[in-house]
């Protein structure tokens, strides 16, 4: 995968975010200096913090430079307002136009809101990412079904294989209880049961 779709997929794997969490990411939620990403309103409407991979810093900075140029063109054209779900438009009317509130992965086109009638640039469609991941899996000749959520599973699995504490992984994933995170421990046994066949022994 390459381009924006490749960057989205890399971000999902590198942070453990769900697809909608990654697409809903705002510029202000990326902390480059602290190497953190704030995930707002995740599953259960909970906030959490996850890791910002070192290998994503330069690609993300380059991507955001292009997004900022796009945003500035929107502003010059009289647009540039981001959709902010939980804030009444008349309460913070200027916030929606600020750089920090813009989506990290904005759509290539502006759309008109059905409710308010405002023309805004929303984020990339989830279906576009799902299709790109499916096509990449097909090109890689993978036989199992592959979705963007597999990248979140891989994030958790590989952290546990690397020896990270399950409570740490739980916090990064935003699971309410450790029992949900425990499902990933099955991969720590090589073949599911940790059994060595007698055929491989003698």
Catalytic (active-site) positions = 18, 43, 149, 152, 175, 184
Rounded CA separation 24/181 (Å)? 23
Element (H, E) at 51: strand 48-51
Distances 86 to 53, 82, 83, 118, 172 between C-alpha atoms, Å: 29, 12, 9, 16, 24
Bridging pattern class, strands 119-120 and 111-112: antiparallel
- Reduced to 3 states (helix: H, G, I; strand: E, B; else coil), residue 40 is coil
């Amino acid at each position: 995968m390459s381009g924006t779709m490749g960057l989205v997929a890399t971000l999902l794997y590198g942070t453990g975010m769900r697809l909608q969490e990654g697409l809903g990411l705002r510029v202000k939620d990326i902390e480059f200096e602290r190497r953190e990403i704030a995930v707002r309103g995740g599953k259960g409407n909970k906030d959490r913090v996850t890791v910002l991979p070192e290998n994503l810093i330069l690609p993300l900075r380059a991507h955001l430079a292009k997004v900022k140029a796009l945003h500035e063109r929107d502003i010059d054209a009289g647009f540039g307002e981001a959709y902010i779900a939980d804030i009444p438009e008349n309460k913070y009317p200027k916030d929606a136009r600020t750089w920090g509130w813009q989506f990290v992965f904005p759509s290539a086109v502006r759309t008109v809101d059905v409710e308010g009638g405002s023309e805004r640039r929303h984020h990339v469609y989830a279906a576009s990412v799902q299709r790109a991941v499916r096509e990449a899996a097909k090109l890689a000749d993978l036989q199992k079904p592959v979705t963007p959520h597999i990248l979140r599973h891989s994030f958790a699995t590989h952290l546990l294989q690397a020896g990270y504490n399950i409570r740490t992984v739980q916090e990064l994933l935003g699971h309410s209880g450790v029992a949900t995170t425990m499902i990933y421990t099955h991969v720590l046994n090589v073949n599911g049961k940790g059994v060595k066949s007698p055929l491989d022994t003698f």
